[in-house]
Amino acid sequence: MMTEQKQTTDAVETKRPQQPATAPHKSKSYGWVGNTLSIAISLAIGVGGLYIYYHGQQQNAALSDKNLALQQEMAALTQQQSANKQNFDAKLQALETSLQRASSQSQQLDDRIAELRNRVSALSNTDIENWRLAQASSLVKMAGRKVWSEQDITTAIALLKDADQNLAEMDDPSLLYARKAIMADIDSLTKIKQVDLDGIILTLNQLSNQIDHLRLADKVEQATSEQADNHEITASLSDWRQNLSNSWHSFMDNFITITPRDNSKAPLLAPNQGVYLRENIRSKLLIAAQAVPRHQVKIYQGALEDVQTWVKTYFDTAYPDAENFLKEVDSLQKRPLSIDIPEQLSSQSILTELVRKRIYNLPSSKQLPSAKPLPHSKPPQTGSQSDTQPDAQSLPTTTETADDQEQTSAGEI
């Protein structure tokens, strides 16, 4: 700044000698003022420059402080960022390690779950197959009971078909021989000629409803009516002798009653005993109907024989109702109740052996089922007789009651 002022003053001084010399007084005064002004301007410029310089220095110092502070903050932030990055990297590494560990554990769990599923699937498949095999064996046994105890061929065939369906669902080629045995049993049962037991029972019920239409054989009333026809009185006066004789005979016939008797030992039935007779016949028909599904041939035949004897003894067989009734009873006596059933079911022993080996893991028995049927001593029939015998024992309660009624009615007669 000082050099600039000196240069301006030198410039002013150098310029001064070039002024015209005509006015030396004015130039002297003007030079003093100009010098003063230039000094003042130079001072002002110097002060301004100092102020500007000082202010610049202060600003530079402030900026330097700020820059230093910023550099320190930048260094601190850089250190903090580096520390955070290291911490983040450590945490990320720990998370990756835990994730790998969790992934490994998840894989192990998946493997164990898959193994358990395979085991459960194998166990459930085995259980289902064992259940189907046991059910097929049970169905065959039930079919045998139906055949031997109830002689229900239709139900037995249906049970055998269900057993074959269970074996077919197992899809096991080793069970083909068992299915062949079941089909052979079905074929043998299909060839059996069945008896219409329901038709027999319906016929017995129909006969029970026809009892009220039968007419009692009243021989006394018939003889009286014949005598009344022989002693009729006419209205002609010329027949007075015949009318008098007829009146006399009619009086004597009513005064003394003569009951004709034949050589039969059965007593005549009193008029008030007809209700008991009809009820006894109904009871016998009911006993016969109850004996049909149980295949109790003796009880069935005995009840029908009693019905036939009573109808012939106490009812007028000359009427069509009684004649048709006796024909129906005679046809029912000729109809069989039992059928020819096989002694055994070949599939039963085969399935029993399969259950022993596959479900219970028992050693095979000595009598291993083969293509030839096993000898059978009819134990199922013995069991069926024992099963039906209690029913037969429970039935005689009604039978004995009916017999007591018959004896009572016979005693009253």
DSSP 174-241: GGHHHHHHHHHHHHHHHTSPP--HHHHHHHHHHHHHTGGG--B--HHHHHHHHHHHHT---S-GGGHH
| Co-location of 177 and 114 in the same domain | no
Whether residues 279 and 152 share a domain: the answer is no
Co-location of 51 and 114 in the same domain: yes
Would residue 35 count as lying in a domain? no
Does one domain contain both 130 and 119? no
The alpha-helical segments, DSSP class H, found in 231-273 are 240-255
The pLDDT score that the predictor gives to residue 361 is 75
pTM value > 0.75:
no
Same domain? 84 vs 158: no
- Residue 5 CA to residue 3 CA, distance in Å, equals 5
Token duo for residue 24: 């030396």
Q: Which amino acid, residue 381?
A: Q
Largest pairwise CA distance in the chain = 231
Question: Could you tell me the two tokens for 288?
Answer: 């016969």
Domain presence at residue 68: yes
Where in the sequence is the domain holding 186, given as residue range(s)?
125-191
Are 203 and 290 in the same domain?
Answer: yes
The answer to the question of residue 403 being in a domain is no
> Do 206 and 324 fall into the same domain?
yes
CA 138/CA 144 separation, integer angstroms: 10
Considering the domain boundaries, does residue 152 fall inside one? yes
Structural domains in the chain (count): 3
Instruction: Give the residue from 374, 351, 308 showing the smallest Cα distance to 175.
Output: 351
Do 201 and 332 lie in one domain? The reply is: yes
The residue among 89, 123, 157 that closes a domain is 123
Is 233 domain-assigned? Answer: no
277 and 323 assigned to the same domain? yes
- The last residue of one of the domains, among 123, 144, 165, is 123
In a domain, 58, yes or no: yes
Residue 83 falls inside a structural domain:
yes
Tokens 């007809």 — which residue?
Answer: 274
**Whether residue 208 is found in the same domain as residue 299:** yes
Show which of 64, 88, 123 is a domain's final residue. 123
Same domain, 203 and 324: yes
364 domain-assigned: no
Are 51 and 115 in the same domain? yes
pLDDT at 256: 58
Q: What is the pLDDT along the chain (413 residues), one digit of tens a residue?
A: 444 444 444 444 444 444 444 444 445 556 687 788 888 888 888 888 888 888 888 888 888 888 888 888 888 888 888 888 888 888 989 999 999 999 899 999 998 898 887 776 666 556 788 888 889 999 999 998 888 887 888 889 999 999 999 888 888 888 899 999 999 999 988 888 877 888 899 999 999 999 888 888 765 444 444 454 555 677 777 777 787 787 777 766 666 555 555 555 455 556 567 888 899 999 999 999 999 888 888 999 999 999 999 998 888 888 888 889 999 999 998 888 877 788 888 888 898 888 888 887 777 665 444 433 433 333 333 333 333 333 333 333 333 333 443 333 333 33
Q: In this structure, which amino acid lies at residue 142?
A: M
Q: Residue 185's closest CA among 385, 373, 380? A: 373
